[in-house]
Amino acid sequence: MPKMQQELFLPILSNLEKLFESKKDYDVIIKAGDDDDQKEIYAHSNILSCQSDYFDTAFSSNWAEKIDGKYVFNKPNISPHIFEIIIRYLYCGQLDLNVNNGPDISKLLVATGELGLDTLGEYIQEFLIKQNDPIGILEVAFQHENFTTLRGYGLEAICQDPYILFGTDKILSLPAQILESLLKRDDLVLDEIEGTNKIVGGYNPLDWEGSGIFKDTQDSFVYIFNDYRDINRGKIGRVTDASHALICNHQWGPIFGYNYDIAMYPDSQNNKWYSKPNSYPNINIPGSFEIDDYEAFQVVKK
């Protein structure tokens, strides 16, 4: 944009920002955040309606609650800080992602998906791609179905350089749906990782408290990577007997399945494990094997 045109636009944008900050003649109240961190944000329906289809639909269809002549939105799942960034952007196009940290940018992207701000969402996705963190990108991308640009980049980046994921312990804490998406791709080429050619494991969506009682879930699965050089030999087996999906006690440790689809020999001194398919499909995990080490990771949603 020519400098002269910029000089014409800047005062207008500045005045709109002042209008937002002054709260003069506002007719929209947005209650952002939960009980511990809630704040009322004031805005003007005509500006929000012009800038966002989400708000335009809310105002025109009487979907938004109206109290004493003012529209009231309750948004406990979007923090006040994130909502103020979005509203300021809608007023004056002001947004500097470089001053926000990673978690804030992730939350901002998720909020744009909820509010239908596709242009802003695409801009944030492009910014994240430039940060070159494929695993972090995938963890954000799978939070909303509209983040296709981000999801495609993350999957392709790991397929091009699998060591990003498979050469670290990050694979053990990767959400199940991301791991499954990687396994379904036909362009994942894996180089051999030094000292390792197999990984056996499972996903537990519940917990590993050691009561010795079977846990019921339909979301767990076991998996095996036989050879990093051939992803077609990587397999997932989803639970078939949900009532005996998981169990854990202090002697045996974590166990998948009723007949112990994956289990460690009790009090094993040689890291010996075994597998007898029962509650999960037979995906050709060795009946008996020794391991170098095993770890249990908890995936926490933020």
Residues 279, 282, 284: CA angle, nearest 5 degrees: 140
* Statement: residue 292 has pLDDT above 50: yes
174-213 confidence digits (pLDDT tens): 777 777 777 666 444 433 323 446 777 788 888 878 788 8
Buried b (16+ CB within 10 A) or exposed e, 257-267: bbebbbbbbee
Count the domains in the chain: 1
Q: Is the dihedral of CA 230, 246, 267, 166 positive or negative?
A: positive
pTM (two decimals) = 0.55
96 part of a folded domain:
no
Q: How far apart are CA 8 and CA 283, in angstroms?
A: 66
191-200 confidence digits (pLDDT tens): 332 344 677 7
The C-alpha R_g of the chain, in whole angstroms, comes to: 25
Q: What percent of the chain has pLDDT over 70?
A: 79
20 part of a folded domain:
no
31 part of a folded domain:
no
Alpha helices per DSSP H over 185-262: none
Q: What value does the mean pLDDT of the chain take?
A: 79
5-27 confidence digits (pLDDT tens): 667 777 778 888 888 888 899 99
pLDDT score for 188? 47
Buried b (16+ CB within 10 A) or exposed e, 87-97: bbbbbbeebeb
234 part of a folded domain:
yes
45: confidence class by pLDDT, cuts 50, 70, 90: very high
DSSP classification of residue 122: H
DSSP classification of residue 261: S
Name residues whose C-beta falls within 8 Å of residue 193's C-beta, 6 or more positions apart in sequence: 163, 166, 167, 228
CB 125 within 8 A of CB 110: no
Q: How far apart are CA 71 and CA 44, in angstroms?
A: 9
Lookup: tokens for 1: 């944009």
302: confidence class by pLDDT, cuts 50, 70, 90: very low
94 part of a folded domain:
no
112-151 confidence digits (pLDDT tens): 988 989 899 889 888 888 877 888 788 777 777 777 888 8
Domain containing 286 equals 195-302
pLDDT score for 195? 40
| Closest among 27, 75, 25 to 54, alpha carbons compared | 75
Q: How far apart are CA 161 and CA 186, in angstroms?
A: 14
Lookup: tokens for 286: 């060795």
Q: Are strands 263-264 and 272-274 parallel, antiparallel or unpaired?
A: antiparallel
CB 162 within 8 A of CB 189: yes
How many Cα atoms within 13 Å fall on the side-chain side of residue 16? 18
> What is the Cα 251 distance to its own chain's centre?
34
* Statement: residue 173 has pLDDT above 50: yes
285: confidence class by pLDDT, cuts 50, 70, 90: confident
Give kind and range of the element (H or E) at residue 75: strand 70-75
225 part of a folded domain:
yes
